[in-house]
Chain A
Amino acid sequence: MIFLTRRATFSASHYYWNEAWTAAENERVFGRCANRNGHGHNYTLEVTVAGEPDAVTGFVVDLKWLKDVMEQEVLAAYDHRHLNLEVEEFAAGKLIPTTENIAIAAWRRLEPAVAAAGGAKLSCIRVYETPEIFAEYRGGQ
């Protein structure tokens, strides 16, 4: 089994807010991340797929194909967007756009396309919010 990883970057803004809480509670738990005017990051998305190299091409997947899928499924929706205001899964009352939830949401966006292609399986999504802060999702296992 070979694990292949493709990296891409996107820039987006967000804030953390739980609609069920008071403003004071949100500010206590989320601190500066609860500023309703939002703030932004340069995110790095790492997508790892696992499989056997094809006998003819030697590829686990075609990297260009993976790049295009990442662009269509994730970057087209997230890059230069306000995650809370412009991305469906992070709308008020849905997922808070923490790094953990961005990794989970990116998995949900990518997994059907990777599965539909047959062959390699989605193995891991890693999202860096800064070079020092990241989250990882392996499909919940």
Chain B
Amino acid sequence: MNSGAGSAGKAYFGRRAALSASHRLHSDALSAEENRAAYGKCNNPHGHGHNYVVEVLVGGEVDPETGMVVNLAALDEVLRKNVIERFDHANLNLDPCFKDRVPTTENLCSVVFGLLKDALPAGELEYVRVEETENNFFQCYGE
């Protein structure tokens, strides 16, 4: 048994992963003019894409036997199955998650939080952060 980490309390493990997807920001509740005003270029009819970066932070006690909050390989598998395979090289507007929701990165962030929250191999989901470009990102704490 390794010693010393058992009394350390809560720590966090973070993982970043990339996915590329297309979307179009358009709300059926708005007129064509209103959509144009609200979303600008993002409302162009054929959509556009981004290289998104998803960052997850998992909180929990450090397992004294492994020194880990969560096993990286197990976390990667959950990320891959629940998020990357679903959205990478896909059109977000066509995913059932966005049937009644505009695929803004705010909404993508909260959808990803929902897909991961109960699927983690260990620990609790502290936040999901989605970077749409190098200059803008969104963070969801599930509240």
What's the count of A-B pairs with C-beta under 8 Å?
Answer: 85
Instruction: Decide yes or no whether B13 CB sits under 8 A from chain A.
Output: yes
Q: Which of A31, A131, A135 has the most CB of B within 10 A?
A: A135
Q: A100 at interface (Cβ–Cβ under 8 A)?
A: yes
- In the complex, the chain B residue whose C-beta lies closest to that of A128 is B14
Q: Are B10 and A141 in contact (CB under 8 A)?
A: yes
Q: Complex: how many Å from CA A38 to CA B72?
A: 18
Does residue A137 face the partner (Cβ distance < 8 Å to B)? yes
Give the number of residues in A that approach B within 8 Å (Cβ atoms).
32
Asked if B65 is at the interface of the complex by the 8 Å CB criterion, the answer is yes
- What is the bound-complex CA distance between A123 and B15, given in angstroms? 21
Contact: B14 with A135, CB < 8 Å? yes
A99 to B66, CA, bound (A): 11
The stretch of B1-9, B35-43, B89-97 that contacts the partner chain:
B1-9
CB of B141, distance to nearest CB on chain A (Å): 14
List 14 additional contacts besides A18-B2, A29-B71, A126-B14; criterion CB under 8 Å.
A18-B65, A19-B2, A20-B1, A21-B65, A94-B4, A95-B5, A96-B67, A101-B5, A103-B11, A104-B8, A132-B17, A136-B13, A137-B8, A137-B11
Residues of B within 8 A of A29 (CB): 66, 71
A134 touches B1 (CB 8 A): no
Query: Does B67 lie within 8 Å of A93, measured CB to CB?
Result: no
Q: Complex formed: what's the CA distance from A100 to B6 in Å?
A: 12
- CA A39 – CA B1 in complex, angstroms? 23
> CB distance B67 to A100 under 8 Å?
yes
B16 proximal to A (CB < 8 A): yes
Contacts of A18 in B (CB 8 A): 1-2, 65-66
Q: How many Å lie between the Cα of A21 and that of B67 in the bound state? A: 14
Contacts of A133 in B (CB 8 A): 14-16, 72
B68 within 8 A of A: yes
A137 CA to B11 CA, complexed, in Å: 5
B102 within 8 A of A: no
B1-35 contact mask (Cβ, 8 Å, vs A): 1 or 0: 11111001111111111000000000000000000
With the chains together, A134 CA to B11 CA distance in Å?
11
